A = this chain, B = another copy of it.
Amino acid sequence: MVRVRSPRYGRKLDDFTVGAVYAHPWDVTVDEGMLALFAASFQDAIPTYASRVAARSVGLRDRPVSPLLLLNLGISFSVHDVSEQAIAHLAYTDVRFPAACYPGDTLRASSLVIGKKPVSTGDKGVVHVRTQVVNQDGLLVCSFERKALVPPGRVAERPADAPHAVAQPDAQPARLPEELDGPLPPPARQGGFACAWDDFEVGDVITHEVGRTIGDSEHMQLATLLRNSHPLHVDEQYSRSSSFAKTRVVHGGLVLSWVLALSSRDTAGCGVWDLGLDEGAHPSGVLAGDTLFAASKVIAREEAKSGAGSVTFRIVGVKNTPPRALIEQGADLFTPELGKAEGRVKEKVVEITRTLLLRRRS
């Protein structure tokens, strides 16, 4: 008798146990190639993440791995155990980058189930997890919470997990790597991008003029490289029947990365570090061929220390229409879509709050 197996991964609502920690099986050395593929899609202006010289000038020992790459790896590593069956990714909160990760580090991740509940219609549920990414020494380099919408019941052919007893510390992660404590040394070079901490005022709105069209191959390469195993991003046969769009959909973590990159020349060219992302959501999906744009609003500004200050931006991403045009048409870009009574912006694909440590001129 031939035994035919068809293993499936991820979890449905009844597969989750509140309080459990799932140790994701991926074990990946981050290398310069991964950094370059990330830089080849996301033209980010933050000098710390692109230049060894700039990174050393702020106190790091080398050019660190982009925090957004860490977030993307964390989300993607967790798909195998958390969201490979998920219908939608609902929210990101409390995204923190407490320590620098460097090329050559080897990363693992785990997810703690914080909560789960069926939605009122009873035909699906929401699971809430905290995912942590650590390097080979167990140092926490990225922590975040996210919520996903999952089907009810159980995954029929899910193999049992390999045994493990991984725990997650409860402490709230720091917002800044230790090496960046203390006064900020002066920049290593003249020039650089123009916008500094001093140039932002609470209430300012910036529409970022240049957009980015998403390539079919590039978004699949990134999903594959990140070890994102959801077929929605890379399997057209699955997507024709099971995707809400009836075709492959771009991984949300990439959409976020494109939008933050598109905003970066105007907001982050004097950036030192990402102090955190919060209140993130994806109101609609993105397909290959769509063109993404970004707009930002300054919602807070604080002096942080000698040489630097923090600015908190609300950043939104829209598809196929520049945000300047949407604002001229009267669109309410910066109110969260979830819970809007009216005036929903159907072009909006991501909205998130980002806090950056920026150099000060004064």
A335 interface residue per 8 A CB criterion: no
Question: A233 → chain B, closest Cβ, in Å?
Answer: 10
As a 0/1 sequence over residues 39 to 53 of chain A, the CB contacts with chain B under 8 angstroms (1 = contact) are: 111110101001111
With CB as the reference atom, state the residue of chain B lying closest to A213.
B236
Given the known inter-chain contacts A4-B207, A207-B4, A209-B8, please indicate yes or no for A161 contacting B236, CB distance below 8 A.
no
With CB as the reference atom, state the residue of chain B lying closest to A21.
B191
* Chain B residues within an 8 Å CB radius of A327: 4
User: How many angstroms from the CA of A26 to the CA of B191 in the assembled complex?
Assistant: 9
As a 0/1 sequence over residues 217 to 244 of chain A, the CB contacts with chain B under 8 angstroms (1 = contact) are: 1101110110101010011111000000
Question: A329 → chain B, closest Cβ, in Å?
Answer: 14
- CB contact list, A310-345 vs B, under 8 A: 320-322, 324, 327
* Chain B residues within an 8 Å CB radius of A54: 27, 106
The oligomer's copy count stands at 3
As a 0/1 sequence over residues 139 to 173 of chain A, the CB contacts with chain B under 8 angstroms (1 = contact) are: 00000000000000000000111111110000000
* Chain B residues within an 8 Å CB radius of A322: 237
Interface-centre pick from A51, A227, A320 (highest chain B CB count, 10 A): A51
Contact of A52 among B4, B45, B104, B324 (CB under 8 A): B104
Contact of A23 among B33, B108, B159, B191 (CB under 8 A): B191
A6 interface residue per 8 A CB criterion: yes
User: Is A236 touching B291 in the complex (CB atoms < 8 A)?
Assistant: yes
Contact of A25 among B2, B201, B269, B293 (CB under 8 A): B269
A17 interface residue per 8 A CB criterion: no
Given the known inter-chain contacts A36-B37, A191-B162, please indicate yes or no for A213 contacting B47, CB distance below 8 A.
no
- CB contact list, A1-17 vs B, under 8 A: 2-9
Given the known inter-chain contacts A33-B31, A50-B27, please indicate yes or no for A3 contacting B163, CB distance below 8 A.
no
A29 interface residue per 8 A CB criterion: yes
* Chain B residues within an 8 Å CB radius of A208: 7
User: How many angstroms from the CA of A156 to the CA of B224 in the assembled complex?
Assistant: 42
User: Is B221 touching A190 in the complex (CB atoms < 8 A)?
Assistant: no
User: Is B237 touching A320 in the complex (CB atoms < 8 A)?
Assistant: yes
A194 interface residue per 8 A CB criterion: yes
User: How many angstroms from the CA of A195 to the CA of B161 in the assembled complex?
Assistant: 9
User: Is A211 touching B194 in the complex (CB atoms < 8 A)?
Assistant: no
* Chain B residues within an 8 Å CB radius of A182: none
A28 interface residue per 8 A CB criterion: yes
With CB as the reference atom, state the residue of chain B lying closest to A47.
B27
As a 0/1 sequence over residues 181 to 212 of chain A, the CB contacts with chain B under 8 angstroms (1 = contact) are: 00000000111111110000101111111111
A266 interface residue per 8 A CB criterion: yes
User: How many angstroms from the CA of A189 to the CA of B106 in the assembled complex?
Assistant: 12
A32 interface residue per 8 A CB criterion: yes
A130 interface residue per 8 A CB criterion: no
A248 interface residue per 8 A CB criterion: yes
Given contacts A32-B36, A237-B293, 10 further A-B contacts (CB under 8 A): A29-B63, A37-B37, A41-B224, A160-B194, A211-B235, A212-B234, A213-B234, A213-B237, A215-B218, A237-B322
Interface residues of chain A, those whose CB is within 8 Å of chain B, are: 2-9, 23-29, 31-37, 39-43, 45, 47, 50-54, 63, 80, 103-104, 106, 108, 136, 159-166, 189-196, 201, 203-213, 215-218, 220-222, 224-225, 227, 229, 231, 234-238, 248, 265-266, 269, 289, 291, 293, 320-322, 324, 327
